[in-house]
Amino acid sequence: MRALRKIELLSGMVTGGLAIAVLFTLLRPQSVLDFLASLPFYLGPALLVAVGSYLHAIRRKTSGLILLLASGSILTVGALLATLGGVFYFYGIWGGLLGLTPSAMAIITMIASLLVKRFTIAGPFEYTVNEGKYL
């Protein structure tokens, strides 16, 4: 397995793990309804990033890349909205940074997966279009 695939897989798993850790330390759901409310916008996309990175890095499926990019985009937009919406005001500097770490790891995972996809089409030192076939 190449180093980029390892980075993709590791950062995807860290994204899911950090989202679970942040959910139970920073957000602290008091009931099942609080937990279910955080599922579609915070925990769900982070876990889908982890699943998508596994499918793309290990199983080498394009559906994993699509799942990874879609859920990572949701986390990225959520991080942007949280930053502009005052996450640092509500949780402080360290709490805000802790809440944004799954989104940062999702961005790293998306970059690594796109680099893996690019290097599988062409070699790392080849800059060709259409797998070396010229038009």
Q: Mean pLDDT, to the nearest integer, of 15-43? A: 91
pLDDT at res. 124: 55
Average pLDDT of the chain to the nearest whole number: 88
**pTM higher than the cut 0.95:** no
With a cut of 60, say whether residue 14 has pLDDT above it.
Answer: yes
- Sorted by where each begins, the domain ranges of the chain are 3-120
Rg (CA), the chain: 17
Q: At what angle do helices 87-121 and 44-57 cross, to 10 degrees?
A: 20
Q: What is the pLDDT of residue 118?
A: 78
pLDDT at 130: 54
Return the pLDDT at 126. 54
What is the reported pLDDT for 135? 45
Can you give the pLDDT at residue 116?
87
Question: What pLDDT sits at residue 122?
Answer: 57
pLDDT score of 131 more than 90: no
Q: Which residues contact 92 (CB under 8 A, 6 or more apart)?
A: none
Angle between helices 62-85 and 44-57 (to 10 degrees): 150
Tell me what the mean pLDDT of segment 32-57 comes to.
Answer: 93
pLDDT in tens, 56-79: 999 989 999 999 999 999 999 999
